[in-house]
Amino acid sequence: MKKIMVATLLAAASSAAWAGLPTSDQDFVTNAAQGGMAEVALGKLATHQGASAAVKKFGQQMTSDHSKANAELATAAKKAGATVPTAPSDKQNETLTEMKGMKGAAFDKAYADAMVKDHEETIALFEKESSKADEGPVKTFASKTLPTLEHHLKMAKDLQQQVK
């Protein structure tokens, strides 16, 4: 009985946190926040485990830029009446765990490949939010952040070529 009551309370609290925000915006906030947290975690890992100076430098930039973007997203979500998740997704955590076991050139290649893939997916997410969402702080955040993500993708592709 207690488990049912707790589950009901959690569901009610979650619904209240998203009150008035369209489902598509809710999904964007969740996915963008989880992706941003994963980028920061992988960036920190790259600064410690990267073999090349280029990977370490890129990792530091991802840590810095995505930490800033995560804070901006949290502010936009709060203004929209939403909350952000506090951890990356299970799939993102699996990738992080897998990469923690890598070293040297294998790590560098896997990290660069992951950054290209992640930024391509993230750009698609932000483009959709920028073009289809109702006006508001979440859409503004997506539109403002998109050029930085596009720059990150270019940098990630350059890095990918360097560590082949």
Domains of the chain with bracketed CATH: 2-162 (1.20.1260.10)
What does the block give as tokens for 84? 């952000």
Please, are residues 146 and 130 in contact by the beta-carbon 8 Å criterion? yes
b (16+ CB within 10 A) / e for 133-159: beeebbbbbbeebbeebeebbebbeeb
The 3 state secondary structure assigned to 83-103 is: CCCCCCCHHHHHHHHHHHCCC
The pLDDT value given to residue 24: 80
What's the pLDDT band for 6 if we cut at 50, 70, 90? very low
- Report how far residue 96's alpha carbon sits from residue 91's, in angstroms, rounded to the nearest whole number: 9
The pLDDT value given to residue 20: 65
- Report how far residue 48's alpha carbon sits from residue 156's, in angstroms, rounded to the nearest whole number: 18
Q: What tens digit of pLDDT does each residue of 29-79 get? A: 999 999 999 999 999 999 999 999 999 999 999 999 999 999 999 999 999
Q: What tens digit of pLDDT does each residue of 106-142 get? A: 999 999 999 999 999 999 999 999 999 888 999 999 9
The pLDDT value given to residue 67: 97
Q: What tens digit of pLDDT does each residue of 68-107 get? A: 999 999 999 999 888 799 999 999 999 999 999 999 999 9
To the nearest 10 degrees (0 to 180), the angle between helices 23-49 and 104-132 is 160
- Report how far residue 53's alpha carbon sits from residue 149's, in angstroms, rounded to the nearest whole number: 21
Residues with Cβ within 8 Å of residue 92, at least 6 apart in sequence:
34, 35, 37, 38
Nearest by Cα to 148 from 117, 119, 114, 108: 119
The pLDDT value given to residue 73: 96
